[in-house]
Amino acid sequence: MRVIAIENITRKNVPIYYRQMYTGTAVMEIVNKTERHRIEFSIEAKPTGDKEIGVTLPGDIHYPLIPVIRALKKTITEMHMYGELPD
């Protein structure tokens, strides 16, 4: 299982300044087959300066969820570090 890309990312308007909410489409290779799944994720700044990332997959996925969430969080963290997420 690997994340190929996260596409069609849009930022939701949230009145809390330290939380950013997004929706998008995750393109993943699962068991030698490319699948697309809608995702929702958030990036929240903690008082210590750390960033906490939360990921939700609203639909069904036929693969263990923990490795998928872990891989998505890693990809989202890298995208955030390199400024690839919309403002």
Instruction: Give the domain range for residue 37.
Output: 14-81
In a domain, 38, yes or no: yes
- Is the pLDDT at 74 greater than 90? The verdict is yes
In a domain, 31, yes or no: yes
Cα 22 to the center of its chain, rounded Å = 8
pLDDT digits (tens, 9 = 90+) for 13-62: 999 999 999 999 999 999 999 999 999 999 999 999 999 999 999 988 98
The identity of residue 6, as a single letter, is: I
| pLDDT recorded at residue 87 | 84
In a domain, 3, yes or no: no
8 A C-beta contact, residue 57 and residue 68: yes
Q: State the Cα–Cα distance between residues 78 and 6, nearest whole angstrom.
A: 11
In a domain, 6, yes or no: no
Q: How many domains does the chain have?
A: 1
**What burial class does residue 54 get, using C-beta atoms within 10 Å of its C-beta: 0-12 exposed, 13-18 middle, 19+ buried?**
middle
- Is the pLDDT at 70 greater than 90? The verdict is yes
Predicted model pTM: 0.93
In a domain, 25, yes or no: yes
- Please state, in angstroms and as integers, the Cα–Cα distance from residue 50 to each residue in 29, 38, 43, 77, following that order: 30, 26, 10, 11
In a domain, 60, yes or no: yes
Across residues 72-87, what is the average pLDDT? 95
